[in-house]
Amino acid sequence: MIRTIISFLIAFVISLVLGRFLIPWLRALKAGQTIKEIGPKWHMTKQGTPTMGGIMFVVGILVAVLALGWQSGDYTAFIVYDFALVFGIIGFIDDFFKVKFHKNEGLTALQKFLLQVAAAIVFVILLRNLGVISNDLYIPFVNVTIYLPWVVYMILAVFIIVGTVNSVNLTDGIDGLATGVTMPVMLFFTAVAILWGRYGAGILSAAAFGGLCAFLIYNFHPAKVFMGDTGSLFLGGLVCGLAFALDIPLVLILVGIIYICETMSDIIQVAYFKLTNGKRIFRMAPLHHHLEMGGWSEVKLFVVFTSITAVCCVLAYLGVMLRFAA
């Protein structure tokens, strides 16, 4: 418990201090976000807000993990952090091209997809070879474990990982939203890691919570900086990486309910648009834009979506306790 608190404080302080220098530096580099013209018109006022701010919590978390991860004797923190960092690097490359060419498109969808699939496959194989995961799939609440053939488990794992990473990325559409939604998720993983004595995972998730708390100071509406794909893809990797490292991937259905809703709204909108030759179900996808168009403020969206996630995380923790009790 003490190590997790220290991990939180280290990541919080490093991220907070780094932000004081990083934001002016990004402004000087003219690393501003290019806003899509098809988005809400009032978002155009955010044009030029520095992006790639996720670097501050990526570094803050790294310092905490390097300082404390080795003391736990559980190297989960290093494995999952490196996995998330791969996604963060993919996001950084994407952000770099956006900033360099002043467009809202970096890597192509196919390039990002292939890189993400490759990272997911390597990660799952590594966890299996280290004995961290098996072919067993735990179903929360009903406390049932299903054995799956390794190939089936691998396909399912890659689908969950790539889907989660991109869902977190999609949630990062308004000030503070991805940050706020991911904070209770990190608290959830910290609580589970402490409950099961998985201190490496606990140090990492506590550090992530600390880094996000610091980043929110700069990212809350009106945002002084955006995390960019550098931050959102890193967070997506962190979320699904911790779920698999703790061998509870299906818990993402509950703790990641907002991520799922955001993604499903986008999929439904696109599919319905194509099937009906231009008709829409939502005013604008993903879901947060639909609610914005209906009069919700960015602050209201932040509070409601974060609160829903927090409640779902509490419910998920109660479900996980059944496995611990068993």
CA dist 226 → 139, 176, 207, 217, 285 (Å) = 35, 8, 20, 11, 20
- Maximum mean pLDDT: which of 58-67, 97-106, 121-130: 58-67
Predicted confidence at residue 326, as pLDDT, reads 55
C-alpha span between 33 and 112 (Å, rounded): 19
Domain that residue 182 falls in:
2-325
Q: What are phi and psi of 103, to 5 degrees?
A: -125, 165
* Segment 222-249, tens digit of pLDDT: 999 999 999 999 999 999 999 999 999 9
Across the range 71-89, mean pLDDT stands at 88
Place of tokens 């490759």: 118
* Segment 253-269, tens digit of pLDDT: 999 999 999 999 999 99
Q: How far is CA 313 from the centre of its chain?
A: 15
C-alpha span between 117 and 267 (Å, rounded): 20
- Mean pLDDT value across the chain: 89
Across the range 91-117, mean pLDDT stands at 81
Q: For the chain, what is the domain count?
A: 1
Nearest residue to 116 (alpha-carbon basis) of 88, 92, 87, 95: 87
* Segment 289-319, tens digit of pLDDT: 999 999 999 999 999 999 999 999 999 999 8
Token pair listed for 153: 């488990």
* Residue 7 pLDDT exceeds 90: yes
Place of tokens 């299996």: 128
